[in-house]
Amino acid sequence: MAVFAYGRVSTKDQSAENQRLEIERAGYAVDYWYADEGISGKVSASQRPQFAKMLGQIRDGETLVVSKLDRLGRDALDVGTTIKMLAARRIEVIVLQLGKLDLTSTAGKMMLTMLSAVAEMERDLLVERTQAGLARAKKIGKTLGRPSTTTLEQRADIIARHQAGASISELSRLHGVSRATIMRIAKPESAQA
């Protein structure tokens, strides 16, 4: 029976190669390697192109190895769904982070449930801390978000020239900003619609 391995990294400038090497160093002879690069962990496993391709290739009774639990889904529900689907096909799922534990076994399912719940709680706490930090920064008057691409004087010039008949494209070239930026400044009512 073949051994399949799967890796995922969030950005294009990262590589999943380290995950493949980690799996091989753990003693698994990888027959088929699949990796989604530049795919956020927020994307469910079934929506990831390489993961979906792997699911079409892996046969019932074969083995899937991943380096970490979060490679199998975006949250406890997604990981659980993925594991159940693989278990129904008698595919052994090995997560190196957990040691030699088949997640489709009874003990593996229990461990999976606990770990997925803890991971989801950690993500929720991170979101809470981020929101609290943003609220605190806003309260003390910090400007949040992306810095403006235009100065106050440029915005006044854009409005005056647009009212005098200058086109959006012309203003965009003149100020070196996108047409969308010019639209937000020159026609704020249509930008909000």
Cα–Cα distances (Å) from 90 to 61, 65, 86, in that order, read 5, 14, 6
The one catalytic residue in 10, 44, 105, 172 is 10
Q: For residues 135-154, b (16+ Cβ closer than 10 Å) or e, as one string?
A: eeeeeeeeeeeeeeebeeeb
Domain extent listing, the chain? 3-105, 152-192
Q: What does the mean pLDDT of the chain come to?
A: 87
Q: Which long-range contacts (CB under 8 A, 24 or more apart) does 83-86 make?
A: 83/109, 83/112
Looking at domain 3-105, does it have CATH number 3.40.50.1390? Answer: yes
Per residue in 90-118, pLDDT tens?
998 888 888 767 777 788 778 877 877 77
Active-site annotation holds for 10: yes
Local confidence band at 42 (pLDDT 50, 70, 90 cut-offs): confident
Instruction: Considering only residues 178 and 114, tell me which one the structure prediction assigns the higher pLDDT.
Output: 178
The pLDDT, as a whole number, for residue 99 is 77
Closest CA to 72 of 89, 90, 96, 56: 96
